Amino acid sequence: MIHPSANIGKNVTIKDDVIICENVTIEDNVYIDYGCIIRENVHIKKGSFIGARSILGEYLFDFYGDKVNKLHPLVIGENALIRTENIIYGDTSIANNFQSGHKVTIREHTTIGRNVRVGTLSDIQGYCEIGNYVSMHSNVHVGQKSKIKDYVWIFPYVILTNDPTPPSNELIGVTIDSFAVISTRSVILPGVHIKEDALVGAGAVVTKDVQKEMVVVGNPAKEVCSVRKIKNKFTGEAVYPWRNNFKKGMPWEASDFEIWIQEIKIIEE
């Protein structure tokens, strides 16, 4: 069922059982797999793939009173690769080259930058700011009011909390600065600020701010050393800051971080 108001570009594939509601724009070369529901006021930019049974433009709470979908636009950037059964609310915007796993939830009032990846079953609770080139693995929980800057890595089952004295109405989000790494199953307490290049160990419960380039582990998490002390088990070489060693999918992939950042600076000057 495609609403006649839909504005559909060239070379768009729409598989069976897709529902497209009023005032939807689908740009060229988009592929919408079986059974997707595209609610009102969704804009999907060119070259994007929407996996089977995803729901885009999901209702905010104000729908449920009178069962009328209010104006809450959703923009999906170019070349998105959204796998099956994602749910993405209105009043959200996602920049180009987004990739997601299966069964991801992204709620309202969320801004997601370029080249972000979000793993299977992750749950972004809304009112979040996520920068560019952020990678979240499976089953990451991003509480409301979280701020994640650029080039941050978040591994499976990490939880960013926001309520210092639950239950309350005063939510204070977590802030994660660029290049920080948050390892598997750690939990970050409300209002904690994790600074540039810091590394949170697996299973940590982080109760206080983590300084730049520091490693924290344990429950409650304690500082153990500088990230610069961590060596690769096999090669014995320093691993962190990771941007000097890891390039896959990063804008310095074809070169080297230091060369790339110098070039960026020259262009900006």
The residues binding a copy of itself (CB under 8 A) are 1, 13, 16-17, 19, 31, 34-35, 37, 49, 52-53, 55, 58, 64, 67, 81, 84-85, 87, 101-103, 105, 120-121, 123, 125, 135, 138-139, 141, 143, 153, 155-157, 159, 161, 163-170, 181, 183-185, 187, 189, 202-203, 205, 217-220, 230, 232-234, 239-240, 242, 245-246, 248
Name the minimum Å distance from CB 28 to a copy of itself.
Answer: 14
Report long-range pairs for 48-52 (Cβ below 8 Å, ≥24 apart).
48/76, 48/77, 48/78, 48/79, 48/80, 48/81, 48/82, 49/80, 49/81, 49/82, 50/76, 50/80, 50/82, 51/82, 51/83, 51/84, 51/85, 51/86, 51/102, 52/15, 52/84, 52/85
| Least separation in angstroms between CB 88 and a copy of itself | 11
In the complex, the smallest distance separating the C-beta of residue 268 from a copy of itself, rounded to whole angstroms, is 26
3-class DSSP state of 142 = strand
Least distance (Å) between residue 267 CB and a copy of itself? 26
Task: At 97, list the tokens.
Answer: 């080259």
Judged by beta carbon, residue 235 or residue 266, the one nearer a copy of itself is 235
Q: Smaller CB distance to a copy of itself: residue 102 or 195? A: 102
CA nearest neighbour of 54 among 100, 112, 98:
100
Q: Name which of 53 and 266 has its Cβ closer to a copy of itself.
A: 53
Query: Phi/psi class of residue 19: alpha, beta or left (left: φ > 0; alpha: ψ in -120 to 50)?
Result: beta
Pick the closer one to a copy of itself by CB: 249 or 266. Answer: 249
Using the minimum distance from each CB to a copy of itself, give the nearer residue, 84 or 92.
84
Cα separation, 102 vs 126, whole angstroms: 18
CB of residue 263 to a copy of itself, shortest distance in Å: 22
- Compute the radius of gyration of the chain from its Cα atoms: 20
